Chain A
Amino acid sequence: METQQKDTAKIKEAIKRRKRVVYQPVVPDMQLGFVHHNVDCIGCRACEMACKDKNGLPPGPRFRRVQYVEGGTYPDVYAYKVNMSCNHCAQPACLPTCPTGAIWKHKENGVVDIDSTLCIGCRRCEAACPFGAPQFDPSDGLVKKCNLCIDELEAGRKPYCVAACMMRVLDVGPIDQIREGKFESKAIGPHDTTVRAIKNLANPNLTNPSIAFVPHSKAKVDI
């Protein structure tokens, strides 16, 4: 019994030592990411619904969110949509904040996944994410998030949100190829180019999110 107690203390001390100095983001073999066409998206929220349906979410938490951006003064007015879920960042801020190790990054495809059964509801990941991805579920006091429908990916299919998009403005693929314009997708038109940042998005240099946008003319920024 005494030995067991000693071991526990030793283990705890080792965890402490390791935790305070080590955080090396996982470098995946291939990083998957989203692409969203800001202009052609009609904001129908079918992706949101499909996501909530698939993940059995109660009212409140939304893994994916369609945001309506409107502005200008008549006659120079504009409206476009920005559609984001978890951006499965290259250096996710949520991951190292988690005290229980509930969040991890898949080596094979870079998906940032969560096992909410390990969550103690401290909500640190929610605070750290610059893109509002981790969602607190008040019905059970746990944080949950998009895992890019990892089960669908492993079955060779696309995530529910992408499958539900009737305008085909949302897609998923290797983010390097998307950024280089080598990824064939209906979400990217023949003359479209993608950008990694749009107006009012949190600075992508914070965590290097795996998302690209076909931007609206009023959403373009220099980053």
Chain B
Amino acid sequence: MHKERIRRVLSLCFIVLLWSPFSASNATEVTDYERARWDPIHFKPAIDNATDEQCLACHQEVLEPSVKPQSPAGVKATDALAWYQTLDVYSGDQETFHRRHLVTPLAKKLMNLKCNFCHQGNGPRDETPYPDTKGDGSYTLRKMVNPEETCLRCHGQFNYKIMTGLPGHWNDVREMMGNSCLSCHAIFRTERHQVNYLNADAIEAATKEKTADGKENSDICFGCHGGRAWYQLEFPYPRHAWKGQDPKVPDWAKDRPTESEERFRLPAKPVVEKVADKVVEKVADKPAAAAKADTAAKPAKSATDAKKASD
């Protein structure tokens, strides 16, 4: 009886051992929905390096046109105008939010947005970015993204009260100002578009485009900045100074960052030549003896060496 029991247990163990490699391989091969939800790509730090291709492998439906031709009550999409369709610079039918920010011709021309520009990870349980247990987790309750850190990088209230020489909201003074933002902003130009999520050169070129009758058109600027002011906040994005700007920071700009977050910065331009030039200038400015001492102390940084390096 005892032997029989041992034999049964051993045969059961043998069957389990025999099947275990198959079950393990099945577990690794099959990515079911629940497994996919908890994939590391949905969390920090993997999401920081996630490519659009990786995201779209599962979420490709966000780029499919899904606006219905008509509502259940019979309102036709072609009869309804979305705000962006009232702009002179937009042409085309109604589009979804994702498509208008990623794949429509205007989006492709002016922007370079990636999925992880907005989506910084989320916890599947409550559909909010997952908090670590030690800190805040920097997540937004009941929202996949934080609008303050995404939408407001471009869209915000048109704060005309702080703009010198502007008598009212652009909606009211557009014609008075010749429908041209550049009549002022040709001088007051910040470096704001110099970020990796925008095509700065294309935006510059677009601002110079005129309407068919040769007039200036502010829609190219106002379409993003101030036009779609669904939120009551003004622009909290970094305030990059323009050339010749008063170094004194006005009250309304206090505590505003002066540089974009690291993840949005463009790769640094080659600086070897500039460094060399600066060293040349520095050495030339110094008295000969001081320059000599400086050169002796740091031979590799001498003007000649720097010049060689730049060559």
A interface with B by C-beta (< 8 Å): 12, 15-17, 19-23, 65, 67-73, 82, 84, 91, 93, 96-97, 99-102, 115-124, 126-132, 140-142, 199-203, 205-208
Contact = CB atoms under 8 A, between A and B. Distances in A.
Interface stretch (B31-39, B129-137, B268-276): B129-137
Given A84-B141, A200-B140, A203-B148, A117 B94 contact: no
A99 B83 contact: yes
Contacts of A123: 66, 96-97
Interface in B74-107: 75, 77, 80-83, 85-87, 94-97
B180 to A, nearest CB: 17
A128 B151 CA distance: 9
Contact of B73 (A12, A68, A117, A124): A117
Interface in B34-76: 66-73, 75
A120 B69 CA distance: 7
B147 interface: yes
22 contacts: A16-B81, A21-B171, A65-B142, A67-B141, A71-B131, A71-B132, A71-B133, A71-B134, A71-B137, A72-B134, A73-B133, A84-B141, A99-B80, A117-B73, A120-B75, A122-B77, A122-B82, A122-B94, A128-B230, A132-B144, A200-B137, A200-B139
B233 interface: yes
B88 to A, nearest CB: 10
Tell which of B72, B125, B151 has the most Cβ of chain A within 10 Å: B72
A142 B147 contact: no
Nearest to B140: A202
B14 interface: no
Contacts of A23: 229
A24 to B, nearest CB: 11
Interface string B93-129: 0111100000000000000000000000000011110
A223 B77 CA distance: 40
A206 B149 CA distance: 12
A203 B233 contact: yes
Given A120-B71, A121-B66, A122-B82, A132 B133 contact: no
Given A118-B71, A203-B148, A84 B142 contact: yes
B146 interface: yes
Contact of B97 (A118, A124, A201): A124
Sorting the interface of chain B by its residue count into under 10, 10 to 19, 20 to 34 or 35 or more gives 35 or more
A12 B78 CA distance: 11
Contact of B67 (A115, A122, A208): A122
A18 to B, nearest CB: 9
B90 to A, nearest CB: 11
A121 B140 contact: no
B81 A15 contact: yes
Contacts of A101: 80
Contacts of B95: 122
B126 A117 contact: no
B171 to A, nearest CB: 4
Given A93-B230, A202-B141, A206-B233, A16 B67 contact: no
